């Protein structure tokens, strides 16, 4: 407008503005009042457009303002705009009439430090990494042919439709969706409950237990994706017993569960592709492998056939082998008779040559020598044997006399008798006999008489009267024989 429009119309009423008039009037007011401002805040929603411009948002804990860096000013910036970077920018405030939005056109940009949210996230990442939750060795391998795929996402967004469409085209299988909110304060708790619920399903229950899980959400700002940086959610994902794919945000967006999940997908569609194979490709691969096996088997058979034919050509014919052996046998058998005759003649000549040196004297002379030696030994041994026999005979006579001297029956020959009790024990004294005891009396002629002892106990019985012997009086030094009774 070159001139200011009148404030009232012909009727005295306030003149109505057109939308463009008001928008451009506000634009001029902002540019005049805030032609140069210096602003500090945290960068968010940084987008490097293909035309060279950079679109972003500068925010603090209470407010946010959109900003733009034109293509010509981007190369003059001292820092590259990045998500979560705290910066100090200078520029002017202007309005965008087509959208009735105000923004800051940035001319310079300086780094002021890491934003509060990003600093908090980095501290949490360092803590979980120190506990080993990011370690590659703890990440589980995704199943190659899953029968059931579990999806944790919003049931009303475009994300679930993209995932279902992609799975249906690649690998028709059973998909179980656990609906949750993916933005706001309740998002982290609901996602944790969904992960625990899937892990607690019975494999044989009415709801099948998934072989792989997908946690998905579309793109958004740091604030929109912040529930997926929750520490409790990260620990729940790390403790999940089912392989889990995180597909939160777009390719440039990174959240905490991307580090603890088993796989990270740049987009939800890419997560569906990671979780499922392509059925047509598998069929083609199986067919190709079958054809290759068939061709390999055919080549193997042809190779074996060629080797057999080559070996057959190298082998001689059986008749040739037999004829050669038969010829050798005939030659050898023809030479066998003459060889045996020559061998017999040679042995005969050897026998004749040896027989001339053999005579009976060769055997008689050693016999005569051995006979002479035997006679000499006999002449030397005979006196020794006689002396030894004489000594042994004398010793035997001494033993016989000794035996005769100790013979218990020898005294019986001199008139003695041996009295024994009924049990066979010898009676040494008459006083040892009891009245009425039966004894046996043995004499020198071998006769035995039985007797019963009468009289008082311990008294020796009186012998019957016997005639006095007429024998010669014994010598004075000879011992007198006692009375047995």
Q: Provide the pLDDT for residue 471.
A: 45
Classify 374 as helix, strand or coil. Answer: helix
Residue pair 62/93 in contact by the 8 Å Cβ criterion = no
CA distance 228 to 205: 30
In the predicted model, is pLDDT for residue 190 greater than 60? yes
For residue 263, the model assigns a pLDDT of 95
Distance between start and end Cα atoms, the chain: 189
- Tell me: the pLDDT tens digits for 311-322? 877 776 767 777
Alpha helix segments (H runs only) across 138-278 = 158-170, 187-199, 222-225, 231-239, 257-260, 268-275
More confident residue, 49 or 213: 213
Give the pLDDT confidence score for residue 114 in this predicted structure: 52
**C-alpha to C-alpha distance for 430 and 442, rounded to whole angstroms:** 16
Report which DSSP code applies to 8: B
User: pLDDT tens digits, residue range 57-70?
Assistant: 999 888 999 999 99
**Arithmetic mean of pLDDT over the chain:** 84
Lookup: tokens for 299: 């080549």
Strand partners, 85: 114
Which pair of structure tokens corresponds to residue 122?
Answer: 């980095």
Residues near 463 by Cβ (< 8 Å), separated by ≥ 6? 483, 485
Instruction: Tell me what pLDDT residue 167 has.
Output: 93
Per-residue confidence (pLDDT) for residue 470, from 0 to 100: 46
What is the average pLDDT across 228-236? 94
3-state secondary structure of 52: coil
Radius of gyration of the chain (CA): 69
Q: How far apart are CA 211 and CA 224, in angstroms?
A: 29
Model pLDDT for residues 258-312, shown as the tens digit of each residue: 999 999 999 999 999 999 999 988 888 999 999 999 999 999 999 999 888 888 7
Pick 19-114's CATH classification: 2.40.50.140, 1.20.58.740, 1.10.10.10, 2.40.50.100.
2.40.50.140
pLDDT on residue 3: 45
pLDDT reported for residue 382: 86
Q: Does residue 424 carry a pLDDT above 90?
A: no
Q: What is the mean pLDDT of the segment spanning 8-26?
A: 77
What band does 257 get if pLDDT is binned at 50, 70 and 90?
A: very high
* Lowest-confidence pick of 88-92, 369-373, 399-403, 445-449: 445-449
Sign of CA dihedral 387, 392, 393, 398: positive
42 close to 116: Cβ distance less than 8 angstroms: yes
**Contact of 257 with 121, CB cutoff 8 Å:** no
The alpha carbon of residue 261 and the mean position of all alpha carbons in its chain are separated, in whole angstroms, by: 29
Q: Which helix (H) or strand (E) holds 179?
A: strand 174-179
- pLDDT value of residue 365: 81
Report the distance separating Cα 221 and Cα 227, nearest Å. 11
What are the residue boundaries of the structural domains of the chain, listed by start?
19-114, 146-277, 279-331, 411-450
Does residue 104 sit in helix, strand or coil?
strand
**pLDDT score, position 121:** 81
Is the CATH number of domain 146-277 3.10.20.30?
Answer: no
CB 256 within 8 A of CB 225: no
């Amino acid at each position: 407008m070159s001139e200011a429009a009148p404030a009232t119309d012909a009727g005295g009423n306030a003149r109505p503005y057109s939308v463009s008039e008001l928008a451009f009037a506000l634009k001029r007011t902002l540019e005049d009042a805030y032609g140069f401002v210096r602003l500090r805040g945290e960068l968010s929603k940084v987008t490097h457009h293909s035309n060279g411009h950079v679109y972003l948002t500068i925010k603090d804990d209470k407010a946010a303002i959109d900003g733009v860096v034109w293509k010509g000013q981007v190369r003059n910036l001292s820092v590259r705009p990045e998500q979560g970077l705290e910066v100090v920018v200078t520029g002017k405030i202007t309005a965008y009439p087509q959208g009735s939005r105000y923004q800051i056109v940035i001319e310079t940009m300086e780094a002021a430090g890491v934003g509060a949210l990003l600093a908090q996230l980095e501290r949490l990442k360092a803590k979980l990494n120190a506990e080993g939750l990011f370690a590659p060795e703890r990440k589980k391998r995704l199943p190659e042919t899953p029968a059931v795929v579990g999806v944790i996402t919003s049931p009303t967004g475009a994300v679930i439709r993209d995932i279902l469409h992609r799975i249906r085209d690649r690998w028709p299988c059973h998909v179980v969706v656990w609906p949750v909110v993916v933005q706001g304060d309740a998002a982290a708790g609901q996602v944790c409950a969904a992960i625990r619920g899937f892990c607690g399903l019975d494999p044989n229950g009415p709801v099948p237990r998934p072989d792989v899980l997908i946690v998905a959400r579309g793109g958004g700002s740091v604030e929109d994706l912040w529930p997926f940086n929750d520490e409790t959610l990260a620990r729940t994902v790390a403790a999940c017993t089912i392989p889990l794919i995180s597909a939160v945000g777009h390719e440039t967006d990174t959240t905490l569960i991307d580090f603890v999940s088993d796989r990270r997908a740049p987009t939800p569609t890419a997560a569906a592709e990671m979780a499922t194979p392509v059925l047509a490709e598998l069929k083609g691969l199986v067919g190709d492998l079958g054809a290759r096996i068939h061709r390999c088997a055919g080549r193997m058979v042809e190779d074996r056939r060629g080797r057999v034919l080559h070996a057959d050509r190298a082998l001689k014919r059986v008749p040739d082998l037999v004829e050669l052996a038969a010829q050798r046998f005939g030659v050898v058998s023809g030479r066998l008779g003459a060889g045996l005759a020559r061998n017999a003649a040679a042995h005969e000549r050897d026998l004749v040559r040896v027989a001339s040196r053999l005579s009976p004297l060769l055997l008689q002379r050693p016999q005569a020598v051995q006979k002479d030696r035997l006679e000499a030994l006999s002449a030397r041994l005979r006196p020794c044997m006689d002396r030894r026999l004489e000594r042994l005979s004398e010793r035997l006579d001494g033993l016989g006399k000794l035996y005769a001297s100790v013979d218990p029956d020898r005294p019986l020959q001199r008139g003695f008798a041996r009295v024994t009790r009924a049990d066979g024990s010898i009676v040494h004294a008459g006083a040892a006999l009891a009245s009425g005891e039966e004894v046996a009396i043995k004499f020198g002629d071998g006769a035995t008489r039985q007797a019963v002892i009468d009289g008082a106990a311990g008294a020796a019985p009186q012998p019957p009267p016997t005639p006095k012997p007429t024998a010669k009086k014994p010598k004075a030094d000879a011992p007198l024989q006692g009375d047995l009774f």
